[in-house]
Structure 1
Amino acid sequence: MLQKAFHTKKKAKPKTKKECGFCLILMASHNMTWMSYPSKNLAFNSPEEIEAFIASQNIISRLMHCYIAFFVPTGLIAGICILIIFVKNYVQHKVIENIDLLLLDFTISDIIMIFLSFSVITRPDYLKATHLACNVLSFFFNLSYFNSQYVFLLTLLILLLKRFPPRAALSKATQRPILCVGFVLIYAFCLSLTEAVLVGIDNYHLETDCQLDPLFAWPEYEIIKFTFGFAIPSFLQILCFTVLFEKEAPADAPALQQHIRSYLAAYIISITILICRLFYNLMLLFRTTFKLRKSTGTPKNELVMNIAEIVLFCESCASLVLILCFHKPCKDEILKVIQNCRRKNTANSHLEIPVTAGP
């Protein structure tokens, strides 16, 4: 019996090696380090191709300069003002509204995304980094991306529950926004960690051209990001809007127009997110088809992908400006500052300038 058991164990060893061999084959089949940007390996066959390439590079460069010059300063200034206003209101009242806490988390995520967007400064060229460093940048980008997406979905859900009072259990859950934010952060962290694994570990020490959504990531990277980062939250977002417009509100609830006007910032931002991220995610999914076909695409495809990436970053800046201009606590604080400035200017203009009498 002991001999049989010994022989059985001995025969089990080759099976483990086969399984390891299968894992290596799977990893090799997912090795995307062969992917390269079309602009990096062009063989020009005619003057028209050269002109088209130069034109696409000029478009990317101009868009990048426009984004860095106008959107980044505006977005960062708006974000800093929002943080100051929320902190000031909390210090004064020792309490923060549910919506304000969620928008605070959304603001921090967007500010991080703006800082990470400085990786486009080198366009039409790409940021040079090792595969490992690029993966780390991608992780923090995805963490901010998923967090902002789901925390804003949570904001829409709470606004919906304000109009349609929920049952006791759901009401208790929404009355604890810190727990909700914590749950969203944990969920976003898990998704980001999954995406980091799907970037791959091949040649982690070698230098490469880096995007925040790495070109050399496995095809599953884009599929999961599209599914969990856009398709599911967008479906739930559209469902929230459908319920808001179609379901009949209780008799004591405010009119629909008044409700939308009270939370105008949230509803405008939700539409902005839906449009901008739709364009970006479709281009990301389109890039996956090239990986599956073992193709690098064309300079035109690369141009559209770069435009989609910049549009995504512009959305982060625009969302912060919309919160500052349309969210009631922020708007009221800005109006107070403007009124104080006008009063000071009026007081200065009414000061009498003493005239000294002549000899």
Structure 2
Amino acid sequence: MTPHNMTWISYPSKNLAFTSPEEIEAFIASQNIISRLMHCYIALFVPTGLTAGICILIIFIKNYLRYKVIENLDLLLLHFTISNIVMIFLSFTVITRPDYLTTTHLACNVLSFFFNLGYFNSQYVLILILLTLLLKRFPPRPALGTATQRPILCVGFVLISAFCLSLTGAVLVGTGNYHLRTDCQLDPLFAWPEYEIVKFTFGFGIPLFLQILCFAVLFAKAAPTEAPALKQHLRTYPAVYIISTTMFACRLFYNVMILLRTNELVMNIAEIALFCESCASLVFILGSHKPCKDEILKVIQKCRRENATNNHLEIPATTAQESGSQ
């Protein structure tokens, strides 16, 4: 694709043409907010999210090696976890904030491609997860039931779709001037205007419509008599519904800012909020999804038993020493 003239878009922090002391004060305050948010994210959310993600991977792999089988829902959550871990690693590009990563157009485009791959992938895997839970409550039609019984094929379809959408985004970022250096965000400023439209439509608009459809069927359609009550169903799978709400809130804010790009401070906040959502989703899965929660409780109980045993052994030993000294 030929280069597109996007020179009218620029970072205000890179064009220090202030006309009044008020503008200087506003710029300094904006830079301080971005810096503090970045440090908070790197210090708190990244370690927590990565720790939760690694624990989820270990638990799922351990359960698979133990039982030689993995449920469809667990397989999809495993895929969702890997996608969010990739997003967290890509979020290290914000370490330079309030400054920006300086790299070539080509390298920035590659980073944007992998970022969008994880972004689209996690969004559509969530749709598959919601559909799986919906089919647990309502008996599926034969064709749909056969498709959902092969989650690996569904995951493969999601990966292919995410790859194609990410490739489209990479093309809309532009292939010209690949050797020139630029200030890089994962959603590059020098992308074509159609980039934002494609990302909003396929990364938020269509997935949101599908999520609303799933929730509408869940709450409005009468379930079979043998199906559990709605409250029980929600309590059985709280992690999925919590991350659905979290993703909607963070990605709505992020996508609106992507379309506008009118405020550098708010755009940085939206980007960091998106990465915080990836970390929070992994924590919610670890703390709310039953196999993960059960494994965590087993580890805690085992540690308590070991501590109790050690304390029980230490007390008689101390008593024996005191008796010998007397």
Q: Write the mapping of 1:136-155 to structure 2, written as runs, cut at 5 A.
A: 136-155=110-129
1:358: how far off?
3.6
Q: Contact 1:135 / 1:199 at 8 angstroms: preserved in 2?
A: yes
Q: 2:10 is matched by which residue type in structure 1? A: S
After TM superposition, list the pairs within 5 Å mapping 1:18-57 onto structure 2.
27=2, 30-57=4-31
1:345 aligned residue (297, 307, 314): 307
Conservation of the 8 A alpha-carbon contact between 1:129 and 1:207:
yes
Q: Cα distance, 1:42 vs. partner?
A: 2.5
What is the CA–CA distance in structure 2 between the aligned matches of 1:33 and 1:49, rounded to whole Å? Answer: 22
**1:200-251 superposed Cα distances (whole Å, 9 cap, x missing partner):** 1221101100001111100000100000000000111011111101110001
- Give the Å deviation of 1:350: 1.0
Change over 3 Å in CA distance of 1:358–1:61 after alignment to 2: closer
Identify the residue that residue 161 of structure 2 maps to in structure 1: 187
Structure-to-structure mapping, 1:1-359, within 5 angstroms: 27=2, 30-287=4-261, 297=262, 301-351=263-313, 352-353=316-317, 354-355=320-321, 357-358=324-325
Query: Contact 1:31–1:202 (CA<8 Å) still a contact in 2?
Result: no
Distance across 2 between alignment mates of 1:34 and 1:130: 19
TM-score by length of 1: 0.88
Could you tell me which runs of 5 or more consecutive residues in structure 1 were left unpaired when the two chains were aligned. 1-22, 288-296
The structural deviation recorded for 1:31 is 2.7
Distance across 1 between alignment mates of 2:280 and 2:84: 10
**How far apart are the structure 2 equivalents of 1:96 and 1:33?**
51
Secondary structure of 1:208's counterpart equals strand
Secondary structure at the aligned position of 2:324 is classed as coil
* SS of residue matched to 1:158: helix
Aligned equivalents of 1:72 and 1:358: distance in 2?
Answer: 53
Give the aligned residue type for 2:132.
Answer: I
Please give the alpha-carbon distance, in whole angstroms, between the structure 2 residues aligned to 1:255 and 1:75.
Answer: 33
Matched residues, percent identical?
A: 79
* Runs of 4+ more than 3 Å apart: none
CA distance in 2 between partners of 1:357 and 1:124 (Å): 67
Paired with 2:215 and 2:33, the residues of 1 have a C-alpha distance of 36
Cα distance in 2 between the residues matched to 1:43 and 1:34: 15
Alpha-carbon distance in 2 for matches of 1:101, 1:357: 60
Which residue does the alignment assign to 1:8? none
Structure 1 contact 31–200 (Cα < 8 Å) conserved: no
Does the CA-based 8 Å contact 1:264-1:327 persist in structure 2?
A: yes
* AA partner of residue 282 (structure 2): L
RMSD after superposition: 1.1
SS of the residue 1:357 aligns to: helix
